[in-house]
């Protein structure tokens, strides 16, 4: 079993409740100690205490079972705005927010209206003369390369 999968499994079993879920585990080894990044999210958001508690539990188990033999730095956090949505739960959590969906050879920007195991639905702004209308766009999940939530400063 690869290291990322082992850390993912350790983190997943220590999640505090059903409202918190795993997003990803990324391990980077540049010069110096490995960086182990555990990304979690919550249906109602996250707080720093949840991340800190989970970090202690994961770190203790990694140490007790000697999962990582050399020096490492463990970070537990929510995915940043640049991290793509990876699960249906994340899509559903972001309904009502503007997203950019990257397809094979194009991009679609719109407000996320719905998501299920097969597709996402966006309201895309379309200019008709001087007026702007909304056009509903349905995109199969299988066509999506990645989806990024767009930050609004309005």
> How confident is the prediction along the chain (154 residues), in pLDDT tens digits per residue?
699 999 999 999 999 999 999 999 999 988 889 999 999 999 888 999 999 999 999 999 999 999 998 899 999 999 887 889 989 999 999 999 999 999 999 999 999 999 999 999 999 988 888 888 889 999 999 999 999 999 877 7
Domain that holds residue 34: 3-77
Q: Are residues 12 and 72 in the same domain?
A: yes
Q: Are residues 72 and 26 in the same domain?
A: yes
pLDDT for position 80: 82
In a domain, 83, yes or no: no
105 and 39, same domain (yes or no): no
Per-residue pLDDT at 1? 63
Same structural domain, 13 and 72: yes
d(CA 132, CA 118): 29
**DSSP strands (E only) in the chain:** 20-28, 34-42, 72-77, 98-102, 107-115, 119-128, 131-140, 146-149
State whether 97 and 53 are in the same domain. no
pLDDT at 149: 94
If asked whether residues 8 and 73 sit together in one domain, one would say yes
121 CB-contact burial (10 Å; exposed 0-12 / middle 13-18 / buried 19+): middle
Q: Provide the CATH number for the domain around residue 141.
A: 2.30.30.100
pLDDT for res 131: 86
Nearest 5°: phi and psi at 52? -65, -45
In what side-by-side order are the strands of the sheet with 72-77?
20-28, 34-42, 72-77
Residues 10 and 64 in one domain: yes
Contact call for residues 145 and 103 (beta carbons, < 8 A): yes
| pLDDT score recorded for residue 130 | 85
The encoded tokens of residue 22 equal: 């795993």
Q: Based on the structure, what is the number of domains in the chain?
A: 2
Choosing from 77, 106, 132, the residue where a domain stops is 77
Is residue 154 one of the residues assigned to a domain? no
Q: Is the pTM of this model over 0.85?
A: no
Instruction: Examine the domain organization and report whether 24 and 68 are in the same domain.
Output: yes
List pLDDT tens digits, range 95-114.
999 999 999 999 999 999 99
Look at the alpha carbons of 72, 78, 84, 88 in this order and tell me if their dihedral is positive or negative. Answer: positive
């Amino acid at each position: 079993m690869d290291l990322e999968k082992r850390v993912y499994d350790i983190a997943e079993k220590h999640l505090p409740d059903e409202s918190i879920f795993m997003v990803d585990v990324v391990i980077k080894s540049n010069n110096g100690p490995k960086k182990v990044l555990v990304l979690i999210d919550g249906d109602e958001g996250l707080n720093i205490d949840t991340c800190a508690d989970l970090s202690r539990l994961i770190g203790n188990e990694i140490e007790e079972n000697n999962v990582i033999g050399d020096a490492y730095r463990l970070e537990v956090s929510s995915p940043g705005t640049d991290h793509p949505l990876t699960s249906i739960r994340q899509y559903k959590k972001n309904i009502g927010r503007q997203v950019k969906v990257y397809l094979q050879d194009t991009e679609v920007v719109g407000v996320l209206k719905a998501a299920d195991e097969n597709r996402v639905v966006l309201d895309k702004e379309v200019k008709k003369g001087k007026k702007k209308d909304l056009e509903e766009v349905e995109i199969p999940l299988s066509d999506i390369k990645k989806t990024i939530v767009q930050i609004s400063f309005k």
